[in-house]
Amino acid sequence: MDEATIKKEYFAWLCSLVRAEPEYSMLWQKLHDMDFVWIVDRDENRAEDGKYLRYIFMVDTAKDGADEAEEIEEILSGPCSVMEFLVGLARRIEDDIMESVDLENRTYRWFHEMVGNLGLLKYDNKHYSDGEIDAIVHRFMSRKYSKNGHGNIFSVGHFSGPLLSQVEIWTQMQAYFLEKYGI
């Protein structure tokens, strides 16, 4: 497969994991084109969750052996995108925190909840604004959101400890799910 085909198939596969609606295709592509940047050390783990999706895709896709797998790995190398970060975190939430044998996989739900918390769901293809999306995502990554997390992927009404912006995303997620879902 050529580079463009692999990248296109990977992006489509990534979107399928979270039931990313086509009417938001410009937003999903924008998030995939942006590098995920972290300023709290342990958030590097969330970037690795996103990059791990590439490995899963490679295993699922490389049917012709090691050479094809190496080619896919090389083509998809590089920094974790914001889209990969969000999908990877949604997957970890489902697999490690919220999994239930009684319910279907809800990775898509956690992804859409985080995107909604950021305020990005108003940017469908008809209302797309590159500059506004940039500002929202950069505010999130630079941790310029309110002390309770408004403007973040997780907002918490009552957080005991340092400012939400000073703790790793995993800790923010735990506080959010404890407050919202009692988990």
Token pair recorded at residue 37: 């940047």
Token pair recorded at residue 36: 């995920």
Tell me the sheet residues that pair with 35. 81
In terms of Cβ atoms closer than 10 Å to its own Cβ (0-12, 13-18, 19+), residue 14 is buried
| Across 67-80, average pLDDT | 91
| Across 5-17, average pLDDT | 96
The DSSP secondary-structure symbol of 73 reads H
Q: Among 66-70, 171-175, 178-182, where is mean pLDDT lowest?
A: 66-70
| 50 band by pLDDT with thresholds 50, 70 and 90 | very high
pLDDT for position 101: 64
| 149 band by pLDDT with thresholds 50, 70 and 90 | confident
pTM for the complete prediction?
A: 0.94
pLDDT greater than 90 at residue 98: no
